[in-house]
Every structure is written in C-alpha cells, then in structure tokens.
Amino acid sequence: MQPWFLVRSRALSDRTVRVLVVEDEKKIASFIRKGLEAAGFAVDVCHNGDEGYELAVTRPYDVVVLDIMLPGRDGLSILRNIRERKIPLPIILLTARTEPNERVEGLNLGADDYLTKPFFIEELVARIHAVTRRSTGASQSVLAVGDLSMDLLTREVRRGGRRIDLTPREFALLECLMRAPGRVLTRVQLLERVWGYNFDPGTNIVDVYVQRVRAKVDRDSDAKLIETIRGVGYRIKTSE
C-alpha cells in the first residue's frame, strides 16, 4: 500500500486546471464555459469586472480568461491591479479585432497571452495549456494511450515506433480523444472543441476527419484504437 502522502501528491499533480472566465457577453461566456468544460477544465464564469477581480484575488485559480470591455472594473484595470499585488496568476486577454492597442497595452501590463475575438475554442484551450504549463513547470506534455503517444510541445505523434503525420485539425481531433481515454465524445462535443462551432453545421465533417485520423493511426496495427459508437460519437479505447 502506498503511504497517503504519495497518493495525495499524485492527485495534486494530476488535478484539474481551474479557470476563471470574466466575460460580460453571456452567449460568449457560455460558449467558452462549455468548450473549456468539455476540454476537462473546471470553469467559473462571472459577468462583472469588480466581481471578477475579487474572485481572481481570493480564489485559487490556475488561469484567468479576461475580457477587456466589462461593466464595473475593465479588464486592463483588473490585470494592472493583479500585477500590482504581485500575484503570479496567468492571464489571457480577450481582445477586439478593432483595438490593436489593447493587445500591446495588455502585454505591457503583464498579460501572458491574448486572443482576438472571434476565436476557435481549441485555440483558447491550447493557450490555457501553454500558460498553465509555463506557470507550474508541469511535465504533462505527452499524452499516451496504449502504444499511441502525442507530444504536445513538439507535436510529434507516434504509434509504436512509427511516426504519424497529422494536419493541425487532425492533431486537435486526436488530442481531444486522447485527453478523454475511454470516454465517448459526441459529434457536437467534437465540433465545439476541434472546430469551435457552437452549432451543428449539418455536415459530416466530424466523421470525415475521424476516418482520416483513423486511417493514419490504426492502419498498420491489429489493435484498433479509435472506436465508433453508433448514433453517439467516438472514443479512443484504453486497452484492447
């Protein structure tokens, strides 16, 4: 039996990333929440700048996704206030395409990254992984299922010893499946997480991409990892 502190330290290092989203446009906020929760993050949303600041400085978040134009305190003031208090909390700004100065000012004030609206949810997921890895120095950069491995930093994918070349979209799709081994992901979840759609475009794009990824991943192996759950979606098998 393992001593309790070993069990505990493993639980801590594998723990869920906690994200605070401060965004007053409720539709965008709920789209972000759904996308981030589907990617496995624990998400709190707030629609007001003053509340957002209070939450950010009093609760143990791993990262804040911060809109700039907000009721109450605006995003840049929140950022400035947090940095004045020397709180080393990663912050990703959501900026408007029409305001390039916001980005420069935001980065000068100590933002870790920014995304220009509108954006694909997969981009935000990738930025969150990047800034939280940077801040914790965590080593969770390789995903593995069976003999399939994916290095999120070098973007190298291997099955056994064989190198697999994927397009960025195929990579994002396989990453989603590998982040949820054994769990079924629906077409709607994959559309949200890989394509950033919060609606069903009525195409078979997910199925087409899954076939492509499957052809590359499972082609030369007896053990087929990518499984179709008819009428529901797809999952990656944890063991054959």
- Residues of the shown chain interacting with Ca ion in the complex, contacts defined by CB under 5 A: 24, 67, 69
Instruction: Tell me whether residue 75 or residue 233 sits nearer to Ca ion (CB atom).
Output: 75
Instruction: Tell me whether residue 52 or residue 196 sits nearer to Ca ion (CB atom).
Output: 52
In the complex, what is the shortest distance from the CB of residue 96 to Ca ion, in angstroms, rounded to a whole number? Answer: 8
In the complex, what is the shortest distance from the CB of residue 165 to Ca ion, in angstroms, rounded to a whole number? Answer: 40
In the complex, what is the shortest distance from the CB of residue 67 to Ca ion, in angstroms, rounded to a whole number? Answer: 4
In the complex, what is the shortest distance from the CB of residue 28 to Ca ion, in angstroms, rounded to a whole number? Answer: 8
Instruction: Tell me whether residue 19 or residue 22 sits nearer to Ca ion (CB atom).
Output: 22
3 state SS of 150: strand
Instruction: Tell me whether residue 24 or residue 54 sits nearer to Ca ion (CB atom).
Output: 24
In the complex, what is the shortest distance from the CB of residue 24 to Ca ion, in angstroms, rounded to a whole number? Answer: 5
In the complex, what is the shortest distance from the CB of residue 93 to Ca ion, in angstroms, rounded to a whole number? Answer: 11
Q: Please give the single-letter amino acid code of residue 73.
A: R
Q: Where are the beta strands (DSSP E) in the chain?
A: 18-22, 42-46, 63-67, 91-96, 113-117, 142-145, 148-151, 157-159, 162-164, 185-186, 226-229, 233-236
Cα–Cα distance measured from residue 225 to residue 127, given in angstroms and rounded to the nearest whole number: 28
**In the complex, residue closest to Ca ion by CB:** 69
Q: Find the radius of gyration of the CA atoms of the chain.
A: 19
CA max distance for the chain: 59
Which residues lie across from 43 on neighbouring strands?
19
Instruction: Tell me whether residue 93 or residue 157 sits nearer to Ca ion (CB atom).
Output: 93
Cβ neighbours around 113 below 10 Å, total: 19
∠ CA 214-216-222, nearest 5°, is 75
Instruction: Tell me whether residue 99 or residue 218 sits nearer to Ca ion (CB atom).
Output: 99
Asked if residue 208 lies in contact with residue 192, where contact means CB atoms within 8 angstroms, the answer is no
